[in-house]
Amino acid sequence: MRKVLVLHGPNLNLLGEREPNVYGKVTLEEINKELQELAKEFQVELRIVQSNHEGEIVETIQNSRHWADVIIINPAAYTHTSVAIRDAISAVNVPCIEVHLSNIHAREGFRQASHVSPVAVGVIAGFGKNSYLLALKAATSIILAEKKK
């Protein structure tokens, strides 16, 4: 079975309430439900984790190294600040897809730089909840390509 870790960073637990003009009105629970439905269609087992704590995110990434085929991560604010998360992704040798609901390149200058992007296989941003669904489709493609090798 294909295995994908979906990791939501800080403040994403407030989706639907937090700045709906930027992040939309969809809740994290709704995103997770749609991911689970798509995962069934793609025959993917998901582990979904949300944390507001950098160390917990690092430990989740590290603990996934022998389980996950791909990591989908929305590091949220840690995108722009966390070398520790970047280093954890680099260390585990699991393909990682960086996801953002908003287009970070069209936002404030400090949000346009990512520590994660250089160690990710790709970045999907600006499509709201569909960023996650597109990432799951990409993750499935990565897994299938790896299995053919």
User: Which are the catalytic amino acids?
Assistant: 23, 100
- Token pair in block for residue 108: 């404030």
Q: Are 44 and 60 in contact (CB under 8 A)?
A: no
Q: Is 57 exposed, middle or buried (0-12, 13-18, 19+ CB in 10 A)?
A: buried
Give whole-number Cα distances, 143 to 82, 94, 96, 120, in Å: 27, 11, 11, 15
